[in-house]
Amino acid sequence: MDDQSFTSGTGIVRFTNHVEIPPGGTYKFELENINDALKKDDLFQAWRGHIINNALFIEEKIDLLISKLLFRKELEGAGLFKSMVLSREFFSFMSKWRVLRDLLKTISPFKETYNPELLSDLRFIVNERDKFAHGQVMYSGNKGEKIFLEYFKETLQKEEISEETIKAFIQKCSKCYVGLDKIIVEAQKRQNIKTSEDVKNE
């Protein structure tokens, strides 16, 4: 029993080593420091919250931008489209990313200043959010020293999660937030809407 894993949200403790138990025989499991291992779950759930909340802020920015690009003059239509279509469950985060990508490749002046790095960063955010929202967390070692996330991406993947993982994600979100804001300002100019910056300069 060199390694043991504790699965979040269930009463299951999974051992990775194989034990042969003869017919009619018994085996005694020595479980040490389970409480220490399970305490890691509080930390992971906080991390998961950071991932999902930051991704949600980005998704809301994408909703706003898509609406402004599609409804250049019809502000009421943009609001209805956002609430009646983009906010529905069937319109996934990845679907919104694809729509935004295609719009920015098609509409002037955005197609002339197309930024593949921003779209790549946004796709990273979508994928990471999906991992944390749908993946299964596991704690490995006698005290749950290591945190792993298992998820499907073509095949079953297993990835170690640390505080650095979360910090890198939040930094990526901050970068994308700034990039999306710049495009939204340009979209507002196409709608002849005064931005806060325009008001300051008057």
Q: Are 5 and 16 in contact (CB under 8 A)?
A: yes
Over residues 67-85, mean pLDDT: 74
Joined together, the tokens standing for residue 92 give 């996934």
Alpha-carbon span 103 to 118, nearest angstrom: 14
Q: Identify whether 84 is part of a domain.
A: yes
**Which strand ranges, in their side-by-side order, compose the sheet holding 4-7?**
13-15, 4-7, 136-140, 146-153, 155-161
Q: Identify whether 37 is part of a domain.
A: no
Mean pLDDT for the chain?
Answer: 79
pLDDT in tens, 18-63: 556 667 666 554 545 556 656 778 888 999 999 999 999 999 999 9
Report the candidate in 4, 89, 72 with the shortest Cα–Cα distance to residue 38.
4
Give the structural domain span for 153.
Answer: 49-194
Position 91, amino acid: F
Q: Identify whether 23 is part of a domain.
A: no
Q: Identify whether 112 is part of a domain.
A: yes
Joined together, the tokens standing for residue 25 give 């025989």
**What's the total number of domains in the chain?**
1
Q: Identify whether 115 is part of a domain.
A: yes
pLDDT in tens, 82-109: 776 787 777 899 999 999 999 999 998 8
Q: Identify whether 24 is part of a domain.
A: no
Model pTM score:
0.74
Q: Identify whether 36 is part of a domain.
A: no
Q: Identify whether 111 is part of a domain.
A: yes
Crossing angle between the packed helical segments 93-106 and 116-134, to the nearest 10 degrees: 170
